[in-house]
């Protein structure tokens, strides 16, 4: 049977790069995203059997129906990459939009749980691998990180906890927590404000989507008895912020 990988949020950034890397490694791909034109373009470029699912991971019924109705040649899921996620805004919690908080929670937390739960039967049957894309924001706080950072802390803890539940199944689980990386992340966070987005990366080096895709492949190629629980990766130029003091 075909080796199948399922990548959420494949229309840009980490998800796009990871899908391309897994395709080159011989996997058939299930790719998800909300932007149909981008999904179709990626499907045509991958060069391997590809099944595109235009869906929003926040919509529970859509997620479960999509996985249940996969064509037979795509049911053999061996790898799940929970990449779909976003940050919205960087205002202080007292100034931020509650709707932005809800969107981040629904996408980064609930969407990840829905997709994991839907794909688990196949992953268990195939002694598969789950990659959850977290963030250094889930460990290291910063002003304006509030709910985004909290959702990524959930990703890390959920990853560690399901490792316990999956003991004996052979399923591996890795939380990958990147630091600063130049993708569409900041453009989405600042709602299309290119000046604010560009300022995040101005004058420094940063990770690329290709770097994260390479890390995923490295983990996949480790012996099956090796599980990387959590992998935090930063650009060499990025370190931890110092303590803040009110004066």
Quote the CA–CA distance of 10 and 82 in Å, as a whole number: 10
Query: Has residue 1 got a pLDDT over 80?
Result: no
| 12-44 residue pLDDT tens | 999 999 999 999 999 999 999 999 999 999 999
Quote the CA–CA distance of 155 and 52 in Å, as a whole number: 25
For 32, half-sphere exposure in the C-beta direction (CA atoms, 13 angstrom radius) is: 25
What residue ranges do the domains of the chain occupy? 4-233
Q: What is the mean pLDDT of residues 134-163?
A: 96
Q: What is the mean pLDDT of residues 89-104?
A: 96
Catalytic residues: 148
Note the CATH number of domain 4-233: 3.40.50.720
pLDDT tier at 184, thresholds 50, 70, 90: confident
Strand partners, 177: 232
């Amino acid at each position: 049977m075909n080796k199948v990988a399922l990548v959420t949020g494949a229309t840009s950034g980490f998800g796009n790069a990871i899908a391309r890397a897994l395709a080159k490694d011989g996997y058939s791909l299930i790719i998800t995203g909300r932007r149909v034109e981008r999904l179709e373009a990626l499907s045509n470029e991958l060069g391997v059997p590809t099944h595109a699912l235009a869906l929003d991971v926040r919509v529970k019924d859509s997620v479960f129906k999509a996985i249940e109705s996969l064509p037979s040649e795509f049911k053999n899921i061996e790898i799940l990459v929970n990449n779909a996620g976003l940050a919205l805004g960087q205002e202080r919690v007292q100034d931020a939009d509650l709707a932005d908080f809800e969107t981040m929670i629904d996408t980064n937390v609930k969407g990840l749980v829905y997709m994991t739960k839907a794909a688990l039967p196949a992953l268990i049957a195939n002694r598969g691998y789950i990659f959850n894309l977290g963030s250094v924001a889930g460990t290291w706080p910063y002003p304006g990180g509030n709910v985004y950072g909290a959702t990524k802390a959930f990703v890390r803890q959920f990853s560690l906890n399901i490792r316990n539940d999956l003991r004996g199944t052979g399923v591996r689980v890795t939380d990958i927590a990147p630091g600063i990386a130049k993708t569409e992340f900041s453009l989405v966070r600042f709602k299309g404000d290119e000046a604010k987005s560009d300022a995040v990366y101005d004058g420094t080096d940063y990770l690329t989507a290709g770097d994260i895709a390479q890390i995923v492949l490295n983990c996949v190629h480790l012996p099956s008895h090796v599980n990387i629980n959590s992998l935090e990766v930063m650009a060499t130029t990025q370190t931890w912020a110092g303590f803040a003091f009110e004066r």
